[in-house]
A and B are shown apart, each in its own frame.
Chain A
């Protein structure tokens, strides 16, 4: 809480402090929890880190949906470990956000109240086993593109949390691709399952990079503060360039009639995602928004008596020790 007092006691932005801060960040120095920082920088980070944490926690649901139906014990173990990693990522990220003077309870309350955002991708349903492959390959693949640059984020605690998370995400991405390889070389039904999953996850994955740079509201400041290193459109292009040859390798068709390789630029040219769908999912009108939030609220409410019991027991233990 000490750190919070530093920037907020000024009330009005302290020009000199802000100028010194901008200079440090421009020089690629890391900002640490107790350092002075502009209130807007703190606010931006809390928003971004907590949205990321919420995404991990909500993200346990679409994949958790297939743990009990995993088709082999090896796949079951891998999927269980992956969903467990997501809970772990959620925890480190809430802890990273807490270094900025906000509590995990507050952030979780915002999620439960529906006032906080999380990645829209988790509002799509997982309909077949191939979705476990497609999520690892495309969704985790897109997440890595977004997240690798965050390992160099100007805010130290976030950057360090991201280093560990990225290592695990990279394993998730590879296991997803491996599922896709196995399915695409499997039976006809398995190949059809893989193609269907690609058809459903391709466009939502491209939308994970956010709106076009021209429409992105937070981008400029985040770039200057070195929270963000690449623009949404740059990362989306990079993702398409890396992923299309992988789809070719799998023998699967990317569901974009406008997709073509441009020899002149060395990049793929691709079609426009349906941004009205993107906006609808953000507004809460995606296929699973209500379901995901209801699930989280139910788990939270069902656990209330357990958390109360743990606190009551700890208080009894403490009272006994004092006596």
Chain B
């Protein structure tokens, strides 16, 4: 096995960081109080994972707050706006299936720094819960009411092109049965894939996310918080 490059670790770190940010936007907006708590939990786990990797790669706050959008390496999927709860859960399902592959590989990779393996080992356990949460919700929403089915199918259609940067055979094998159980139809493995994050070419959404996230830190360069 080839040891992951810093670029790959940055992809995982940024993926967790940006998705955590999106989930944190749900706080006080979730459909139930239990979901406010659950999304907060997942956001915190992802933030912890991101911090673990960013601290290994350099200064976490320099990396999070003082890079330009083009320097971020997160898959486009992670930066997609929240939309409705169906969008949030489909996006989460796709990301959880990606991380379900990422973390065990890192944890088992003897060539990887021990701190990074520590982050990955913890993340394996956390991700198992996240996956349980997102897959259960996708099934509930897909196979719930007519309205929830329609919304979830719309979300799936909208997000499906963004699977390409995270999908593998293993990924499809994880995700497709859940979507089938949710009575949803995928546009197929061969459908169009939207790419760009490896080159720093993101969606328009990342610029706004970072403008907000970085605003205070950048207004006071050098300050300690």
> Is the pairing of A and B real?
yes
Assembled-state Cα–Cα distance A132/B138 (Å): 35
A80 & B32 in contact (Cβ 8 Å cutoff): no
Assembled-state Cα–Cα distance A69/B24 (Å): 11
Q: Which residues of chain B from 117 to 152 have any CB-CB distance to chain A below 8 Å in the complex?
A: 139-141, 143-145, 147-148, 151
Q: Which residues of chain A from 270 to 302 have any CB-CB distance to chain B below 8 Å in the complex?
A: 295, 299, 302
B28 & A73 in contact (Cβ 8 Å cutoff): no
- Select from chain A the residue with minimum beta-carbon distance to B34: A91
Q: Which residues of B contact A313 (CB under 8 A)?
A: 139-141, 143-144
A60 & B224 in contact (Cβ 8 Å cutoff): no
Q: Which residues of chain B from 202 to 225 have any CB-CB distance to chain A below 8 Å in the complex?
A: 212-213, 215-217, 220, 222-225
Assembled-state Cα–Cα distance A118/B77 (Å): 39
Q: Which residues of chain A from 34 to 57 have any CB-CB distance to chain B below 8 Å in the complex?
A: 57
B36 & A87 in contact (Cβ 8 Å cutoff): yes
Contact bitstring B66-79, A, C-beta under 8 A = 1, else 0: 00000000000000
Determine if A114 is an interface residue (Cβ-Cβ < 8 Å).
no
Interface centre among B50, B54, B217 (most CB of A within 10 A): B217
Nearest CB in chain B: distance from A63 CB, A: 9
A84 & B50 in contact (Cβ 8 Å cutoff): no
* Contact with B30, one of A81, A190, A303 (Cβ below 8 angstroms): A303
Determine if A182 is an interface residue (Cβ-Cβ < 8 Å).
yes
Determine if B15 is an interface residue (Cβ-Cβ < 8 Å).
no
Q: Which residues of B contact A129 (CB under 8 A)?
A: 216, 225
Q: Which residues of B contact A312 (CB under 8 A)?
A: 144-145, 148
Q: Which residues of B contact A91 (CB under 8 A)?
A: 33-34, 37
Determine if B60 is an interface residue (Cβ-Cβ < 8 Å).
yes
A299 & B85 in contact (Cβ 8 Å cutoff): no
Q: Which listed segment binds A: B2-10, B38-46, B104-112, B189-197?
A: B38-46
Assembled-state Cα–Cα distance A236/B145 (Å): 52
Determine if A160 is an interface residue (Cβ-Cβ < 8 Å).
no
Given A87-B40, A88-B37, A72-B29 contact (CB < 8 Å): no
Assembled-state Cα–Cα distance A187/B223 (Å): 7
Given A68-B213, A76-B47, A308-B27 contact (CB < 8 Å): no
Determine if B91 is an interface residue (Cβ-Cβ < 8 Å).
no
- Select from chain A the residue with minimum beta-carbon distance to B27: A64
Interface centre among B33, B147, B151 (most CB of A within 10 A): B33
Nearest CB in chain B: distance from A165 CB, A: 15
Q: What is the total number of residues of chain B having a CB less than 8 Å from a CB of chain A?
A: 49
* Contact with B213, one of A57, A69, A310 (Cβ below 8 angstroms): A69
Q: Which residues of A contact B151 (CB under 8 A)?
A: 305
Nearest CB in chain A: distance from B28 CB, A: 4
B148 & A67 in contact (Cβ 8 Å cutoff): no
Interface centre among B47, B148, B220, B225 (most CB of A within 10 A): B225
A71 & B216 in contact (Cβ 8 Å cutoff): yes
Q: Which residues of chain A from 119 to 161 have any CB-CB distance to chain B below 8 Å in the complex?
A: 129
Given A60-B28, A68-B24, A316-B143, A77-B213 contact (CB < 8 Å): no
Determine if A83 is an interface residue (Cβ-Cβ < 8 Å).
yes
30 A-B residue pairs with Cβ-Cβ distance under 8 Å, sorted by A, are A57-B28, A57-B33, A60-B27, A61-B28, A67-B25, A67-B27, A68-B24, A69-B215, A71-B225, A73-B17, A73-B61, A80-B43, A80-B44, A91-B33, A94-B33, A179-B225, A186-B224, A189-B223, A299-B28, A299-B29, A299-B30, A302-B29, A302-B84, A305-B145, A305-B148, A308-B144, A310-B140, A310-B144, A312-B148, A316-B143
Partner-B contacts on A (CB < 8 A): 57, 60-61, 64, 67-77, 80-81, 83-84, 87-88, 90-91, 94, 129, 179, 182, 186-187, 189-190, 295, 299, 302-310, 312-314, 316
A-B contact sample (9 more), CB < 8 A, given A80-B24, A299-B28, A304-B31: A57-B33, A60-B36, A68-B212, A73-B54, A87-B27, A87-B33, A87-B37, A189-B223, A308-B147
